[in-house]
Structure 1
């Protein structure tokens, strides 16, 4: 099968699979709706309503907010969906304007995107959504969103300068395009390398790798340890477990100075990207990186079959569980992807505001602002394992794992990713391309060229 055809099949299948899941298990006509007034919570606050005033530049009196019900759509599931519904119920019972927030879940982010697409433009849309920045860019192109700048700077309902200073720039800028703020970051995750500190020290390395060459030395030393015994069946272990996660792929490209865009258009065929894939290919050829057949690699790190694996913040708990099962006394941590620089890319959902009426938009903004208080951010991070987007909340998170704390220390240096609507396609292509590169042993230049062609064809670029 031609390589280009393979890439198209992989990419389009991912979208079709997501769509089929939504149609079969959660039809758009029957979303998961959690109304705020059905969640058990303490009695409503007796806080008196503020004196009605005219909010500067927003064109609405606070009196118009009284008794409004606004909707929030999201693509979360499980405990995070429950937490968001509980937070909305709490706001509904305690806010001084009498605003009620109704939460609707669409099972995942693909379901959310399909729900918005299926709604009539300007008809049947919610006031708010919790979505990825690249999804917001799609909706902004259709003029569905309200830029948040006027709300942000409003002297009565906006953020103070102290509030703004509390948002790390590395996370705050992900929702701003050409000076227009399309969203507010809700929580963030990041892709990292999980690293067995104890084994590395026994191999003679006191510190995590800072450069690509240091990474190579440590990964190859781990593999060499397996080659010392008489068992030839384990000679492929040690070093790095390769994977095709899109964020892993993008992090390696960025570590070598690469990217997938140039001046606002997708551009996979770059010398820096070839250098990144060449580095991983050489590691594998030298036995210092290997491709596992398991769905997860937590047990490989715990059993010292690998010195490095990649994982996200949400996987820290699973890795610690594997540690307990193996009964190892080793210590592990999280580190950036090393290359020409050390890279960590942050990503995650943001609150966006759909165009409706001035009163409903302000009501939605007030909930979004409330959800981003330091206390609520700490609560969200404590229960989800993600990073809060306010610096003051980092120290308020309850009982964080040491590895989570290590990731939090990296927030100031976390990087952004392409602010293009087509990134939601390009991300899938990047992950599929990396996996194909490893499994099919393809030529680097061919892989990058076919990634480029596939993205252009699917996005219609």
Structure 2
């Protein structure tokens, strides 16, 4: 399939693009849409709209928006795009346009975007989306506090992470501040990507069985990961905060490290300054069994099937958004990874203002992706519930294997149709 529609036929075509971004990212997308509408040589007019969240956006696409408007392009999680492609046939695959000599991305531009950023949107040889925003799971770690505790290098193994977590918890128990008793160590995070990264770190492999179309987390590696983390909780070396946000806890030395994302880094720096903390901090990968790892997350551009003219007009807008200048504007507004060196070169001031971001860039070569299946869209929340149950102090430790068994059984029912 190759493009045959003449771009001259696009004058006056209206393109509607929906995304979940709010705040500064919403404002930047509005300005970019205005710029493209004003300057593009084809006379395409772009209208953008924030749904406020990925869940609301999916509901609008699947159930209809109250005012009857429908989108032509979307910014959505890869698992959502894969669902709309495989289950509903809504998505327009992008292979032909990507590789088109006139309308596509140049070979050099495609090559500089890390392969792992592309893989989240690939299925059965089709490229269903393009990376719009990419982040990764990381362990945010306080170097200064660790050094005061006697640790002059970041942990490399699970046992070293345990040792430092317990030392931090013990320090908070011993100091004169009684309000921080019971804190320190790892701040528990049951986010599904954090759960999956810990499980992969302990050796979880091939959790998606394509032959049976089932997710299988009930593996010895998953039990080992859950047992390790539950031991941290039971020994007082990990704790659950009342505030779902980790930033203040970290700045106040209530946590030596927490499971965060690259998207968190600018927020963490702002809170460190607001709390007047002078601690030096960094990001570390999860301690893998064979090698360390991080897990890629983020949002992707996708094109919904409509008419040839509208699909092509939407593609031209998304292709323009993929250019380094526009990508750099989005990173400044919302954080995350640049899509290759050309974008990073436009962000030297951002790099200088957020040194830890530069450290996060070095983790891209060891990044993995979540299960590349529509089933992950729903399965992640089932995993989160099971993981949270496993880490609750009121859950008997001997029940962890049964929770894993129940997790797989529940997933077999939940993911049917995805």
TM-score with structure 2 setting the length:
0.90
What is the deviation of 1:363?
Answer: 1.1
- The 1:104–1:301 alpha-carbon spacing in structure 2 relative to 1, beyond 3 Å, is closer
In structure 2, distance between residues paired with 1:201 and 1:64: 64
Aligned partner (choices 102, 113, 126) of residue 47 of structure 2 = 102
- The 1:260–1:248 alpha-carbon spacing in structure 2 relative to 1, beyond 3 Å, is farther
Q: Are the aligned partners of 2:229 and 2:391 in contact in 1 as well (CA < 8 Å)?
A: no
In structure 2, distance between residues paired with 1:70 and 1:423: 29
1:329 aligned counterpart, secondary structure: coil
Q: Are the aligned partners of 1:186 and 1:388 in contact in 2 as well (CA < 8 Å)?
A: no
Match of residue 399 from structure 1:
350
Match of residue 83 from structure 2:
138
Match of residue 419 from structure 1:
372
What is the deviation of 1:202?
Answer: 2.0
Tell me whether 1:282 sits opposite 2:226 in the alignment.
Answer: no
2:120 aligned counterpart, secondary structure: helix
- Unaligned 5+ runs, structure 1: 1-55
In structure 2, distance between residues paired with 1:187 and 1:153: 21
Tell me whether 1:269 sits opposite 2:215 in the alignment.
Answer: no
Tell me whether 1:373 sits opposite 2:318 in the alignment.
Answer: no
Alignment of 1:50-449 (within 5 A): 57-119=2-64, 125-141=70-86, 142-228=88-174, 236-258=182-204, 261-264=207-210, 265-340=214-289, 341-397=291-347, 398-400=349-351, 401-439=354-392, 440-442=394-396, 443-449=399-405
What is the deviation of 1:227?
Answer: 4.9
Root-mean-square deviation (CA, aligned residues, Å) is 2.2
Match of residue 20 from structure 1:
none
Aligned residues: 404
2:350 aligned counterpart, secondary structure: coil
Q: Are the aligned partners of 1:171 and 1:414 in contact in 2 as well (CA < 8 Å)?
A: no
Aligned partner (choices 406, 409, 415) of residue 453 of structure 1 = 409
In structure 2, distance between residues paired with 1:156 and 1:453: 49
What is the deviation of 1:326?
Answer: 2.9
What is the deviation of 1:234?
Answer: 5.3
In structure 2, distance between residues paired with 1:326 and 1:75: 30
Compare CA radii of gyration and give the structure with the larger one.
Answer: 1
What is the deviation of 1:278?
Answer: 0.8
1:207 aligned counterpart, secondary structure: coil
What is the deviation of 1:160?
Answer: 1.6
Q: Are the aligned partners of 2:28 and 2:329 in contact in 1 as well (CA < 8 Å)?
A: no
- The 1:260–1:83 alpha-carbon spacing in structure 2 relative to 1, beyond 3 Å, is farther
In structure 2, distance between residues paired with 1:233 and 1:76: 37
Q: Which deviates more from structure 2 when the two are superposed, residues 366-375 or residues 105-114?
A: 105-114
- The 1:231–1:128 alpha-carbon spacing in structure 2 relative to 1, beyond 3 Å, is closer
1:104 aligned counterpart, secondary structure: strand
Q: Are the aligned partners of 1:291 and 1:438 in contact in 2 as well (CA < 8 Å)?
A: no
Residue deviations 1:162-213 (CA, integer Å, cap 9, x gap): 1111101121211111211000011112222111101112222222122212
What is the deviation of 1:76?
Answer: 2.0
Residue deviations 1:102-143 (CA, integer Å, cap 9, x gap): 1132221111111111249xx974221111111111111211
